[in-house]
């Protein structure tokens, strides 16, 4: 028994669900339900980086937007800093957003092309009135310094910057309110590798200096490994596995994680023989498989997998969870 | 007893399938002519996979479009010579070029949604391409389209042939595009970032397909990509491009085992590893790649290179034909030491 109580999670989601209705017409009940996120439970602890990985269509971006309450939830409970924000209205969310910010994938689409950097970043300070008007200028210069851009860039427009610099502006905007939590949705996937490395390093430096907590959403498993303390793997709207980064990468417990890791081409490695090739395609979230969602493509699937959906279960002494009837790592 | 024949010292060099010599491309812009490709030379042998790797803006795609004559002739100036099976293709008329494009040289472009027309079924598009190049009945062409779709991994090709592009997933669209490129059994396939828009598990399927095509059909492939992992797994030879020039060339094994150019060192070092110890900081290349109108006259990488010295203001020698060479003034015997010094110095305490 450890003497210290386990730290309280900064963000805790229980059975979070988000459905969209597609193909809806005038007649009631005409739409079909797209299950983008289904019964997701996860916790994010202060100071950590939770990596959220999955392929396109796995629901990772939708989950990110649910966690920051940019979407209203269909069902489930969401606690931020102990406070229930699952059904909070916009007015009640405004103070919460001071502590919770988002960074988006495409910095050229998320920055208004007609406004200067000064206005893009400064608006946040005006809206939330967290600085007296006289101090805003100093704060802007400080923010630009934090993200590695000079203060003399403040009067430029977004098109005058490169992709990496634009992402730095997006980061500065998120930092303006001094948030505790930042949800970053594919923040480096639009960048070239040499620039990507600079931004990944910036994320790590800022975390150390400002004691930030991140949810880092990405499809690139190597980048996620570099930044994350813990990783959650998503497939078709569900989290199939969570665990400490090194443990999860060295010994994946879910067959999907195993296949995903083996699919990544590695520089300096030529062995294509022992790769696990997944057959077929991601099933449609409009009509997910009945049992385990991965059972249609899983090479270990048995009869039970096609009828019973496995619930997330603790393994490896409780430090990891896996939603699989036949996990590759045993032990409760 | 007949005298043993002495074998020739070297086997007679086969003429390459594609021989690009001193290709330069510049564009007309508001600020005058801007050079995007500067004196690039390379060859592709039959049945080999050559990968051209580089970051965005390095000139990979422009090189490829110029080979195929797909640049706008009003704003693009192309210099140099391109021999395909001994024929000079840059000088060909549009009419002659159309006979080669799609038949002898197939193109797989990055985004399958924009490369396929949304208003016709994929079968229609494949049949159209086959019948543009061969005298063959519609029904026979359609049968070949179905065979091709089966070849690239459609589970139900007879049904898929009547699908529209929007009815297919991204991976399936990319396969349809590959089937289209293969429809006339081209000797050379040019693939521009064929897997960039795909998920890793689908990418693995498509890369396997490309390798199988090379083995079954003997097509040579020029694979353009920014992903060093992809290069490492499928290419026979690699050319690394930076700022409109090929800065390093060699066999894949040689380039990964013993990279020679400081840019390649930086590029390889900035990829986060998937195995082994995690680094506290990634090694990144400082600064940004130059835009086409800001490429220095000398070595294009010199402004970002920590080893740059006076000589780098001139254009470094490009040793064409060497099996492994780099466009760099550094003394080849010093490079290994400098590289390990760089990796050592950057290592976090």
The percentage of chain B sitting over the pLDDT mark of 70, rounded to a whole number, equals 94
Task: For residue A50, give both structure tokens.
Answer: 């939770």
Could A267 and B285 be called an inter-chain contact, meaning their C-beta atoms sit closer than 8 Å? no
Please check whether residue A252 touches B, CB under 8 A: no
Please check whether residue A200 touches B, CB under 8 A: yes
Q: In what order do the strands lie in the sheet with B105-108?
A: B105-108, B188-192, B220-225, B49-53, B237-242, B245-251, B325-326
Residues paired with B27 in a beta bridge: B34, B76
User: pLDDT value at position B345?
Assistant: 67
Please check whether residue A278 touches B, CB under 8 A: yes
Mean pLDDT over the full length of chain B: 86
Predicted confidence (pLDDT) at residue A56 exceeds the cutoff of 50: yes
User: pLDDT value at position A45?
Assistant: 95
Out of B205, B232, B285, the one facing A277 most closely (by C-beta) is: B205
Which has the higher per-residue pLDDT, A272 or B149? B149
In chain A, residues 167-196 whose CB comes closer than 8 Å to chain B: 192-196
Could B283 and A197 be called an inter-chain contact, meaning their C-beta atoms sit closer than 8 Å? yes
Could A267 and B271 be called an inter-chain contact, meaning their C-beta atoms sit closer than 8 Å? yes
Region B8-30 average pLDDT: 79
The DSSP H or E segment spanning B62 is helix B60-67
Predicted confidence (pLDDT) at residue B8 exceeds the cutoff of 90: no
Rg (CA), chain B: 22
What are residue B88's phi and psi, to 5 degrees?
A: -80, 110
Optimal mutation site among B272, B278, B287, interface A, most CBs of chain A within 10 A: B272
- A321 secondary structure, DSSP code: E
Q: Burial of B267 by CB count in 10 Å (0-12 exposed, 13-18 middle, 19+ buried)?
A: buried
User: pLDDT value at position B1?
Assistant: 45
Q: ipTM of the assembly? A: 0.79
In chain B, residues 200-259 whose CB comes closer than 8 Å to chain A: 200-205, 207-208, 211, 226-234, 252-253, 256-257
User: pLDDT value at position B315?
Assistant: 87
Could A263 and B170 be called an inter-chain contact, meaning their C-beta atoms sit closer than 8 Å? no
The percentage of chain A sitting over the pLDDT mark of 90, rounded to a whole number, equals 64
Predicted confidence (pLDDT) at residue B337 exceeds the cutoff of 80: yes
For residues B228 and B268, the answer to whether their CB atoms sit within 8 Å is yes
Nearest-neighbour CA in chain A from B199: distance (Å): 6
Could A265 and B203 be called an inter-chain contact, meaning their C-beta atoms sit closer than 8 Å? yes
Distances (CA, A) of B183 to B30, B46, B123, B125, B208: 41, 18, 11, 10, 19
Region B181-196 average pLDDT: 89
Region A175-199 average pLDDT: 90
Please check whether residue B311 touches A, CB under 8 A: no
User: pLDDT value at position B58?
Assistant: 87
User: pLDDT value at position A115?
Assistant: 93
For residue A168, list chain B residues with Cβ-Cβ distance below 8 A: none
The DSSP H or E segment spanning B142 is helix B138-151
Q: Burial of B349 by CB count in 10 Å (0-12 exposed, 13-18 middle, 19+ buried)?
A: exposed
Predicted confidence (pLDDT) at residue B349 exceeds the cutoff of 60: no
User: pLDDT value at position A110?
Assistant: 87
The percentage of chain B sitting over the pLDDT mark of 90, rounded to a whole number, equals 38
For residue A219, list chain B residues with Cβ-Cβ distance below 8 A: 199-200
Tell me the three state secondary structure of residue B109.
coil
Total length of chain B: 349
Could A266 and B229 be called an inter-chain contact, meaning their C-beta atoms sit closer than 8 Å? yes
**B243-284 tens-digit pLDDT:** 999 999 999 999 999 999 999 999 998 888 888 888 888 888
Region B21-46 average pLDDT: 89
Nearest-neighbour CA in chain A from B2: distance (Å): 46
For residue B56, list chain A residues with Cβ-Cβ distance below 8 A: 192
Could B233 and A272 be called an inter-chain contact, meaning their C-beta atoms sit closer than 8 Å? yes
**B213-232 tens-digit pLDDT:** 888 888 899 999 989 989 99
Mean pLDDT over the full length of chain A: 89
Grade residue B132 by pLDDT with cuts at 50, 70 and 90. Answer: very high
Region B55-72 average pLDDT: 86
Domains and CATH numbers, chain B: 16-104+188-198+218-349 (3.40.50.300)
Optimal mutation site among A49, A53, A159, A192, interface B, most CBs of chain B within 10 A: A192
Nearest-neighbour CA in chain A from B99: distance (Å): 36
User: pLDDT value at position B109?
Assistant: 84
- Domain positions in chain A: 111-178
Predicted confidence (pLDDT) at residue B111 exceeds the cutoff of 80: no
Mean pLDDT lowest among A128-132, A153-157, B250-254: A128-132
Please check whether residue A240 touches B, CB under 8 A: no
Region B81-105 average pLDDT: 91
């Amino acid at each position: 028994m450890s003497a210290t109580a386990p730290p309280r999670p900064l963000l805790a989601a229980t059975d979070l669900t988000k459905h969209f209705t597609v193909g809806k017409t005038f007649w009631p009940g005409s739409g079909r339900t797209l299950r983008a996120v289904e019964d997701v439970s996860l916790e994010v602890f202060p100071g950590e980086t939770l990596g959220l990985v999955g392929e396109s269509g796995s629901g990772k971006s939708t989950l990110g937007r649910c966690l920051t309450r940019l979407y209203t939830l269909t069902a489930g409970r969401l606690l931020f800093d102990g406070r229930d924000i699952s059904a909070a209205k916009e007015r009640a969310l405004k103070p919460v957003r001071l502590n919770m910010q988002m960074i988006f994938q495409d910095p050229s689409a998320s920055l208004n092309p007609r406004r200067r950097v000064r206005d893009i970043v400064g608006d946040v300070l005006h809206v939330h009135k967290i600085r007296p008007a006289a101090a805003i200028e100093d704060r802007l210069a400080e923010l630009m310094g934090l993200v590695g851009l000079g203060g003399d860039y403040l009067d430029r427009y977004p098109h005058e910057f490169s992709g990496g610099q634009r992402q730095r502006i997006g980061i500065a905007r998120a930092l303006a309110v001094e948030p505790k939590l930042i949800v970053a949705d594919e923040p480096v996937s639009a960048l070239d590798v040499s620039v990507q490395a600079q931004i990944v390093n910036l994320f790590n430096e800022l975390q150390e200096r400002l004691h930030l907590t991140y949810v880092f959403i990405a499809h690139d498993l190597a980048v996620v490994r570099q930044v994350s303390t813990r990783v959650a793997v998503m497939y078709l709207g569900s989290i199939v596995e969570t665990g400490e980064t090194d443990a999860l990468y060295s010994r994946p417990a879910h067959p999907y994680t195993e296949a995903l890791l083996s699919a990544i081409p590695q520089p300096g490695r030529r062995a294509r023989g022992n790769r696990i090739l997944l057959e077929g395609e991601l099933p449609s979230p409009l009509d997910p498989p009945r049992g385990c969602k991965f059972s249609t493509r899983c090479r270990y699937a048995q009869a039970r997998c096609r009828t019973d959906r496995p619930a997330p279960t603790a393994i490896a002494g409780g430090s990891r969870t896996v939603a699989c009837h036949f996990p590759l790592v045993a032990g409760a | 007893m007949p005298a043993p024949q002495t074998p020739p010292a070297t086997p007679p060099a086969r003429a390459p399938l594609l021989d690009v010599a001193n290709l330069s491309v510049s564009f007309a812009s508001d600020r005058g002519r801007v050079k995007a490709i500067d004196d690039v030379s390379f060859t592709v042998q039959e049945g080999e996979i050559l990968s051209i790797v580089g970051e965005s803006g390095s000139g990979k795609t422009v090189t490829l479009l110029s080979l195929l004559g797909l640049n706008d002739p009003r704003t693009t100036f192309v210099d140099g010579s391109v021999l395909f099976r001994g024929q000079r293709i840059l000088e060909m008329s549009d009419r002659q070029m159309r006979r080669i494009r799609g038949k002898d040289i197939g193109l797989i472009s990055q985004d399958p949604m924009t490369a396929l027309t949304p208003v016709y079924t994929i079968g229609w598009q494949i049949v159209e391409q086959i019948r543009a190049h061969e005298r063959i009945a519609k029904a026979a062409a359609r049968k070949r389209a179905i065979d091709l779709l089966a070849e690239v991994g459609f589970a139900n090709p007879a049904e898929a042939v009547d699908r529209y592009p929007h009815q297919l997933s991204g991976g399936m669209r990319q396969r349809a595009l590959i089937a289209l490129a293969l429809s006339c059994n081209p000797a050379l396939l040019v693939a521009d970032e064929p897997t960039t828009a795909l998920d890793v598990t689908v990418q693995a399927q498509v890369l396997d397909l490309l390798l199988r095509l090379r083995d079954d059909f003997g097509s040579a492939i020029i694979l353009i990509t920014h992903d060093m992992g992809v290069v490492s797994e499928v290419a026979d030879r690699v050319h690394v491009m930076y700022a409109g020039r090929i800065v390093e060339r060699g066999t894949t094994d040689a380039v990964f085992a013993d990279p020679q150019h400081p840019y390649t060192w930086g590029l390889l070092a900035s990829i986060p590893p998937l195995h082994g110890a995690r680094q506290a900081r990634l090694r990144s290349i400082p600064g940004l790649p130059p835009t086409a109108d800001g490429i220095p006259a000398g070595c294009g990488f010199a402004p970002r290179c920590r080893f740059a010295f006076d000589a780098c203001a001139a254009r470094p020698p490009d040793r064409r034909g060497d099996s492994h060479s780099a466009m760099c003034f550094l003394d080849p015997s010093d490079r290994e030491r400098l590289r390990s010094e760089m990796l050592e110095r950057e290592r976090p305490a």
